[in-house]
Amino acid sequence: MIARLIATATLLICPLSTLYAACEGSDLRNQLSATEQAELQAFDLSTPYPSGNHWLAEKDQHRINVVGTVHLGDARLGPVFDRLSPVLAAADRIYLEMTPQEEAQLQQAISERPELILLTKGPTLIDLLDPEEWEQLSKAAQARNIPSFMAAKFQPWYLSILLSVPPCALSAMGEGGGLDHQIMGFAAKNGVPLQALEPYDTVFSLFSSEPFDTQIAMMRASLLSDQDSANGLVTLLNSYFDQSHAAGWYLAKLHAKRVSALSEREIEEAFETLQATLLRQRNLAWMPRIIDTSSTDSIVVAVGAAHLHGSDGVLAQLQGAGYHLSQQEF
C-alpha cells in the first residue's frame, strides 16, 4: 500500500511519473465571460514569456534549449517528442527536475522516514477538521484509492498533492508517460548524460516548512468534486498543448475560485503559496546550475511548463543574465 501511495504522490513532486490523462471534462476557456476573457488577456500581456514551450537561449558559445514539459501522458505528445528528438540527440547534457536516481532516493527516504509525509505526533486531520469537511476529504481520498485511516495521518501539504489528481487520471496509472519521462528514456537509450536540477527532497523541504495553517488551507483548496477536478485537468492540458502556460496557471486559479468552498482571498493566498514554493524558490535555486558561464556545452533544460513564464520564470531570468532568447518549434 505505501509503495502505491508513494508512486501516486510523485505526480507533482516527481515528474518521471507515468500517469496517463484519461479524463473527460470541459475546457473552461470555452465558458469564460467577457470580463474573464479580458482579465485573462490582460494577465497574458503583463506576464513575461506567457507562451511557448520550447525556447533557445544563446550567449557566446553557450546554447540552452529550454523545454516546458507536462508531467502527464497524453497522445498529443507523440508528434511533440518526434520534433524534439534531434535537439535531445545533439545535447551534451539534459537537465531535469529529477532523474531516476533522485526518484529512487525519494522513495527510499519516505519508506525509512515516515514523518516526511505522516503526522506522527499530535492530532490527526480528523481532529483538525470539522465533521463535514472531514467527510468530504475522506470521500475524495477513497476515490483515489487512499483509505480514510491513512488520509487522516498524512501531512496536509502531501494530501493536497494527492487530491489534486482527479480519480479519472489515477485509474489509468502506468499507461504512457509525461514528456519528462520520455526524455529520460531517450537519454538512457542514446547515452545523453542526465543531471538533476535539485536534490531529491527539495519539494518536501519547501512544503513542510510552510506553517501548518497554510498547509491546511492548501488542502482545503484542493477539495473539488471529481468532475470539477477533471475539468481543471482537461483545461490545463489543452492550455499546455496550445503553448499557453501562463493562461493555464491563471485558469487553474480562476477555476478554484469558481468551485472551491474557500473565499476568493483564501484561494489567492493558497495560490501565492504554491507559486512561491513550487515555482519561484525553485527557479531561483536552479539558475546557477543552468547558467554556467564557463561552459560551452549545448544543454537541454526540461522542466514543468509553469516554470517558464513570469518575472521569476526561467526564461526571464535567462534574459536578465544576458541571453538572447528565440522561440523554437514544439
pLDDT in tens, 157-192: 999 888 888 888 775 444 447 899 899 999 999 999
pLDDT above 70 covers a percentage of the chain that reads 91
Walk across the sheet containing 54-59 and list its strands: 194-196, 93-96, 298-304, 62-69, 54-59, 324-327
CA 314 vs CA 16, 64, 65, 183, 328: distances in Å = 20, 11, 11, 19, 16
Q: What is the mean pLDDT of residues 49-70?
A: 96
Name which of 9-23, 79-93, 103-117, 205-219 the model is least confident about.
9-23
| 299 in any annotated domain | yes
- What is the residue range of 245's domain? 2-21+33-327
Of the given ranges (15-24, 290-299, 303-312), which has the lowest mean pLDDT?
15-24
Which of 7-11, 157-161, 237-241 has the least mean pLDDT? 7-11
Cell of 295: 561552459
Residue 161 in grid coordinates: 498533492
Residue 26 lies in a domain: no
- Answer yes or no: is pLDDT of 299 > 70: yes
Q: How far is CA 296 from CA 93, 181, 190, 193, 285, in A?
A: 11, 26, 21, 16, 21
As a whole number of angstroms, the distance between CA 124 and CA 138 comes to 13
**Does residue 183 lie in a domain region?**
yes
In-domain check, residue 27 = no
Is residue 107 in some structural domain? yes
How does the average pLDDT of the chain come out, rounded?
Answer: 88
pLDDT class of 261 with cuts at 50, 70, 90: confident
Evaluate whether residue 28 is within a structural domain.
Answer: no
What value does the CA radius of gyration of the chain take, rounded to a whole number of Å? 19
- DSSP alpha helices (H): ranges in 116-201? 125-128, 131-143, 148-151, 156-163, 167-170, 179-190
Q: Is residue 309 part of a domain?
A: yes
Confidence band for 9, pLDDT divided at 50, 70 and 90: very low
Kindly report the backbone phi and psi dihedral angles of residue 61, in degrees, each rounded to the nearest multiple of 5, phi listed first: -100, 5
Number of folded domains in the chain? 1
pLDDT(4) > 80: no
Comparing 6-15, 69-78, 280-289, the range with the smallest average pLDDT is 6-15
Q: Write down how long the chain is.
A: 330
pLDDT band at 293 (very low <50, low <70, confident <90, very high): low
- The phi and psi torsions of 170 (rounded to 5 degrees) equal -65, -30
